[in-house]
Structure 1
Amino acid sequence: MTSQPTGNQHPPEQQEMPLVEHLLELRNRLLKMVLAVVICFAVIYPFANELYLWLSQPLRELLPVGQTMIATDVTSPFFAPLKLALVVALFAAIPIILYQLWSFVAPGLYAHEKRLAFPLLFTSVLLFYAGAAFAYFVVFPLVFGFFTAIGPEGIVELPDISSYLNFVLKMFFAFGVAFEIPIATVLLILTGATTPEDLAAKRPYVVVACFIIGMLLTPPDIISQTLLAVPMWVLFEFGIIFGRLARRDKDAPEQDESASE
């Protein structure tokens, strides 16, 4: 006797669609993503110079009195704020971009998959923003303080605005991605690639890997490497905890289905 599907096991809502319709739907979603970035850029660009001053404040306030940042290229005063405004617009549009992606794939998911996927999607956005905020408010003051303090006497520090922007964007990306470790851990557990017990047993190797990644993604100083490695390890531990909870939630519908049979 075939059991009826439970409330969490209904087939996907989306009926089988021709490939052309899928491509048209994807095109419309992509156009909405691009439009969201363009609108955010149009709103942010008038404040690009003020935004750059705010971004460079952790370094500028550590420079000796009378020293400031410079532009070594003729076009840098224009392109550096422009690049920053575009990146900030992309960051600001991430929720809309992810919502469009979610709207495209959600009709093909089961109810219990949606219940897990949406919280993971929402949490991944918050964690990325949290990583960027951690870099700006915690890492930058310590790292720039270290670099400005160890310079040899007689050397005038005049940081280039384009080089500084490239550096901080790299740091934002590194810390934003590093803060996604709990999401990656939960996904590995949910897909069956590993288990919380296996990950916990590999903890010593993970700690070493965190410091290696910190060494590769940050400047060659122990402060920034440690400030990236330690949060990565802590987030890994949170990922194991949440992975156990997510696996328990995932197994619940399967147990209900077995009981109904």
Structure 2
Amino acid sequence: MRSREQTLLQHLGELRRRVFICVVAVLVGSAVSFVFFEQLIEILVAPARDLNLGTGGELIYTEVTELLTTAIKVSFVSGLILASPVLVYQGVMFVAPGLTGREKRYLYGFMPAVILAFGGGVAFAYYILTPPALHFLLTFGGDVATPLIRISNIINLMIRLLFWMGLAFETP
């Protein structure tokens, strides 16, 4: 039995406080990332830069707000990454009082492996999977049409691909 039982309202109050801390951490991480959004975008589109991107080889945008929304999206995702230690800590500290000693040992023991597996999946996607996949996608039907790649499309593709491959590496 735990030494400190809490009522439902106390649990909700603690959850509210921890969610607030997480939101602030993500906002701070996103604000810091927004300063470097151009470099972050360059990192994400680097695998495609080595390939033929179409006429002129440049990424394009076709909507007035497209580049701004892309910068905000990249900054937000980067903010999540920067804030992830805070997010994980707050999540663990919220559930830890309800766990037994054995469950806590498993949680703390597997946490580094989970983080490394996700990072390995992201690295695999970025360095191994993305270059041939983009080459195929950008050259498929090249005799029929010339690709004009919108920056938001390549960023969305990269974010999704990196996330899902990171998640795929979590499976046993």
TM-score (structure 1 length as normaliser):
0.61
1:76 maps to 66
Counterpart code for 2:15:
L
Consecutive aligned runs of 4 or more in structure 1 exceeding 3 Å deviation: none
Flag the structure with more relative contact order, 1 or 2, with Cα contacts below 8 A and sequence separation at least 6.
2
Alignment length, in residue pairs? 171
Please report how far the alpha carbon of residue 126 of structure 1 lies from its aligned counterpart in structure 2 after TM superposition. Answer: 2.5
Q: Equivalences for 1:225-240 in 2 at 5 Å?
A: none
Counterpart code for 1:170:
R
Please report how far the alpha carbon of residue 151 of structure 1 lies from its aligned counterpart in structure 2 after TM superposition. Answer: 3.2
Aligned partner of 1:33 among 19, 22, 31: 22
Counterpart code for 1:22:
H
- For the pair 1:177 / 2:167, whether they are aligned, the reply is yes
Q: Deviations over 1:206-230 (max 9, x none)?
A: xxxxxxxxxxxxxxxxxxxxxxxxx
Please report how far the alpha carbon of residue 154 of structure 1 lies from its aligned counterpart in structure 2 after TM superposition. Answer: 6.2
Unaligned runs of 5+ in 2: none
Indicate the SS of the match to 2:142.
Answer: coil
Indicate the SS of the match to 1:87.
Answer: helix
Q: Deviations over 1:143-194 (max 9, x none)?
A: 1122233333363221111111221122122112111113xxxxxxxxxxxx
1:19 maps to 8
- For the pair 1:51 / 2:35, whether they are aligned, the reply is no
Structure 1, 54-63 or 147-156: larger mean CA deviation: 147-156
TM-score (structure 2 length as normaliser):
0.90
Aligned partner of 2:75 among 85, 95, 106: 85
Q: Is the CA contact (8 Å cut-off) linking 1:67 and 1:157 kept in structure 2? A: no
1:168 maps to 158
Counterpart code for 2:56:
G
Q: Is the CA contact (8 Å cut-off) linking 1:98 and 1:121 kept in structure 2? A: no
Aligned partner of 2:143 among 149, 153, 171: 153
Please report how far the alpha carbon of residue 110 of structure 1 lies from its aligned counterpart in structure 2 after TM superposition. Answer: 1.5
1:250 maps to none
CA distance in 1, matches of 2:144, 2:104: 61
CA distance in 2, matches of 1:34, 1:42: 12
Q: Deviations over 1:109-166 (max 9, x none)?
A: 1211111012223332332222122111111111112223333336322111111122
- For the pair 1:113 / 2:103, whether they are aligned, the reply is yes
Counterpart code for 1:47:
F
- For the pair 1:63 / 2:52, whether they are aligned, the reply is yes
Q: Is the CA contact (8 Å cut-off) linking 1:94 and 1:125 kept in structure 2? A: no
Unaligned runs of 5+ in 1: 1-10, 183-261
CA RMSD, 1 decimal: 1.8
CA distance in 1, matches of 2:144, 2:99: 64
Indicate the SS of the match to 1:147.
Answer: helix
Q: Is the CA contact (8 Å cut-off) linking 1:37 and 1:93 kept in structure 2? A: yes
